[in-house]
Amino acid sequence: MKKKLPLYAKILIGMGVGLIWGILATPLGLTEFTHDWIRPFGTIFINCLKLIAVPLIIVSLIDGVSNLSDVSKLSRMGGKTIALYIGTTILAVTIGLTLVNMIDPGKYLSEDRRDYLRETFASDLDTSIVTAHSTKEQGPLQILVNIVPDNLFNSFSDNTNMLQVIFFSILFGVAMIMSPKEKVAPVKSFFDGANTVILSIVNIIMMYAPVGVFALLASLNIDLELLKALSVYSLNVVLGLAVMVFVSYPLILKAFTKVRYARFMKAVLPAQILGFSTSSSAATLPITMDCAEKNLGVSEEVSSFVLPLGATINMDGTSIHQGVSAVFIAQAFGIDLSIGQQLTILMTAVLASIGAAAVPGAGIIMLIIVLESVGLDPAGLALILAVDRPLDMLRTAVNVTGDSTIAAVIASSENEIKSEEELAAIKSKAEANQS
Ligand code: ASP
């Protein structure tokens, strides 16, 4: 029998062909064709992912939490998860700040370039500043208030209210543990069954992923000219992201788990590719969970709790980008930031990445708050808007890798992760059943 190409290989091919198309479309005069006939297939793919995200969180979180034998395990896991998320975020901003101070990309930008970039992106900037200000005007505890919904259906109907959905699902799951077993049994089996159905829907959507990824990348209109102008800055961000993925995460995995790094990377590759193509950790969430459970062997109990939370509050890639960008903009303005100011950037960037929504371009909007925290003119953002999309794609891929790393760490610490051998045995059994 001919060996079938694995799904991740098909997605990789879709990504490669899409990127080539994206670069060639403008010079070949295919922009309109791409917009009318290719882009919609990408939008359909993103819609499918968003469509399943909320039901997936509700069902899998309720199912996962209600499987816990006691509430104390949940609070232990919650404490560890949040501590690790904050720890890796601080590490990420520190890496970004260290590299940008060493490389000093601001000095490579000529005065003319700066003026040109500022003028070209002035109008995009206005909307970002308004959005950032409305976030900033809220009090410090507003984040907490926002987590608790006053109307369940409003939160279910808005994909940006992920923390509210998580809050309600945990509440529901905890209440199930606390209720008499016999009474809750039908509810439990309903969520068990619904969970299986939703995972099958995720599988169906994934079959379409190679086409969706192709369409998304093909319609990007990549502007190589601008990319070149900001190349040192972009390379600085990319280097920071690479340090996180190729140095920090392997060390974390080695210290806290038995998972081999190569196996980890192979397991999470589909989620990274989707993070890259969609620029949204939230849209990628169904696949991140699928990869963690099926490929890494993380239990559903852990993945359904750690990953939705991570998609919303843990953004290591975004944090690196914030650190590098804030200092780069200061350098481009010829301003020397003191150590105290860089510490302020560190703190604000950590909070900004927690507050940033897991959607395309969210990081750059939160960057305005970081810039203002050290008195930098937010108009400086215009310098980097041109390259934000490609950098957003990369940082989102890092964001989902970071979430998956912590899922592996928490699962290992709770003894909730299958070994390579166990996973292989499950796979060969499933294959035998199929044939
Ligand atoms: N697009 C990123 C994400 O969804 C957030 C950002 O803009 O950095 O993870």
Give the CATH number for residue 231: 1.10.3860
Ligand 1 center to residue 395 CA distance, Å? 7
- With beta carbons less than 8 A apart as the criterion, state whether 209 and 291 touch: no
318: CA distance to ligand 1 center in Å?
Answer: 6
Residue 75 has pLDDT above 90, yes or no: no
| CA 363 – ligand 1 centroid, Å | 6
Residue 117 CB: number of other CB atoms within 10 A? 22
Of 17-21, 48-52, 293-297, minimum mean pLDDT range = 48-52
Query: How far apart are the CA of 164 and the centre of ligand 1, in A?
Result: 19
pLDDT surpasses 60 at 199: yes
Mutate to test the pocket of ligand 1, among 280, 354, 393 (most ligand atoms within 8 A of CB): 280
Q: Are 264 and 253 in contact (CB under 8 A)?
A: yes
Evaluate: CB of 279 within 6 angstroms of ligand 1: yes
Distance 358 CA to ligand 1 centre (A): 5
Give me the number of domains the chain comprises: 1
| pLDDT top residue among 384 and 69 | 384
pLDDT, residue 120, reads 65
> Measuring CA to CA, which residue among 365, 358, 325 is closest to residue 130?
365
Residue 3 covered by a domain:
no
Q: Is 63 in the pocket of ligand 1 (CB under 6 A)?
A: no
Bridge partners of 417, per DSSP, are 298
Question: Candidates 89, 280, 392, 393: which one to mutate for ligand 1, based on the most atoms within 8 Å of Cβ?
Answer: 392
Q: Which of 50, 288, 395 is the best mutation target for the ligand 1 pocket, counting ligand atoms within 8 Å of the beta carbon and taking the most?
A: 395
359 Cβ inside 6 Å of ligand 1: yes
How far does residue 13's CA lie from ligand 1's centre (Å)? 24
CB 233 within 8 A of CB 330: no
The predicted-structure confidence for 134-168, as pLDDT tens digits, reads as follows: 666 666 677 678 889 999 998 888 766 777 888 89
Answer whether residue 26 is part of any domain: yes
d(CA 94, CA 323): 8
Residues spanned by the domain of 283: 8-429
The answer, yes or no, to whether residue 209 has pLDDT greater than 90, is: no
**What is the distance between the alpha carbons of residues 321 and 235, in angstroms, rounded to a whole number?**
11
Torsion, Cα of 7, 10, 12, 17 (10° steps): -160
Please determine, for residue 288, whether its predicted confidence score (pLDDT) is greater than 80. Answer: yes
Q: Which atom of ligand 1 is nearest to the CA of 321?
A: 8
Q: Does ligand 1 come within 6 angstroms of the Cβ of 360? A: yes
| Cα 400 to ligand 1 centroid, rounded to whole Å | 10
Distance 362 CA to ligand 1 centre (A): 5
Q: What's the pLDDT at 1? A: 47
**Beta carbon of 319 within 6 Å of any ligand 1 atom:** no
Spatial neighbors of 369 by CB under 8 A, at least 6 apart, are: 132, 135, 136, 348, 352
Is 1 part of any domain? no
Quick one: which atom of ligand 1 is closest to the CA of 396? 9
The ligand 1 atom at the shortest distance from the C-alpha of residue 317 is 8
Q: Report how far apart, in Å, the C-alpha atoms of 134 and of each of 65, 127, 163, 307, 380 are.
A: 35, 11, 19, 28, 19
**Is 329 a residue whose pLDDT tops 50?**
yes
219 lines ligand 1 (CB under 6 A): no
Query: Which residue among 131, 287, 324, 359 has the greatest number of ligand 1 atoms within 8 angstroms of its CB, and so is best to mutate?
Result: 359
- 435 lies in a domain? no
Which atom of ligand 1 is found nearest the CA of 359? 4
Residue pair 322/366 in contact (Cβ under 8 Å)? The answer is yes
Percent of the chain with pLDDT over 70: 91
The DSSP output letter for 357 is -
Assess contact for 132 and 368: CB atoms under 8 A: yes
Residue 386 structure tokens? 């041109």
Between CA 253 and CA 260 the distance in angstroms is 8
> Is 281's C-beta closer than 6 angstroms to any atom of ligand 1?
yes
- pLDDT tens per residue across span 227-284: 777 889 999 999 999 999 999 999 999 999 999 999 999 999 999 999 999 999 989 9
* Residue 223 pLDDT > 70: no
User: Would 150 be classed as within a structural domain?
Assistant: yes
Confidence (pLDDT) at 123: 58
10 CB within 6 A, ligand 1: no
Nearest to 356 by CA among 249, 304, 288, 280: 280
Percentages helix, strand, coil for the chain (3-state, rounded to 5) are: 80, 0, 15
pLDDT 10s digits, 333-381: 888 888 899 999 999 888 888 878 788 888 888 888 888 888 888 878 8
Length of the chain: 435
Task: State the burial class of residue 408 (Cβ atoms within 10 Å of its Cβ: 0-12, 13-18, 19+).
Answer: buried
At residue 372, the pLDDT reads: 84
Q: How far is CA 28 from the centre of its chain?
A: 33
pLDDT tops 70 at residue 383: yes
Local confidence band at 312 (pLDDT 50, 70, 90 cut-offs): confident
State if residue 356 touches ligand 1 by the CB under 6 angstroms criterion.
Answer: yes
Mean pLDDT for all residues in the chain: 87
**Tokens describing residue 337:** 């930031």
Nearest residue to 330 (alpha-carbon basis) of 381, 286, 294, 288: 381
Angle between helices 362-373 and 122-136 (to 10 degrees): 70
In a domain, 159, yes or no: yes
304-316 as b/e, with b when 16 or more CB fall inside 10 Å? bbbbbbbbbbbbb
Element containing residue 312 per DSSP (H, E): helix 300-313
Query: Quick one: pLDDT band at residue 186, thresholds 50, 70, 90?
Result: very high
Q: What is the token pair recorded at 419? A: 């070994």
Each residue of 77-114: pLDDT tens digit?
889 999 999 999 999 999 999 999 999 988 887 777 77
Judged against a pLDDT cut of 70, whether residue 34 lies above it is answered with yes
3-state secondary structure of 158: coil
